[in-house]
A = this chain, B = another copy of it.
Amino acid sequence: MPEFRMDTETFAKIFKALGHPTRVKIVEHLIKINSCVCGEIVNIFPFSQSTISQHLKLLKESGIVRGEIEGPKTCYCVDFDVLNQLKNYVANL
Question: Which A residues are within 8 Å of any B CB, using their own CB?
Answer: 8-9, 11-13, 15-21, 23-25, 27-28, 31, 83, 86-87, 90-91, 93
Q: Which of B11, B21, B31, B83 contacts A9 (CB 8 A)?
A: B21
- How far, in whole Å, are A12 and B17 apart by their CA atoms in the complex? 9
Q: A11 contacts which chain B residues (CB < 8 A)?
A: 18, 24
Query: 19 new A-B pairs (CB below 8 Å) besides A12-B19, A15-B16, A15-B19?
Result: A8-B24, A9-B21, A12-B21, A12-B23, A12-B24, A13-B19, A15-B18, A16-B16, A16-B18, A16-B20, A17-B19, A19-B19, A27-B93, A28-B93, A83-B93, A86-B90, A87-B91, A87-B93, A90-B91
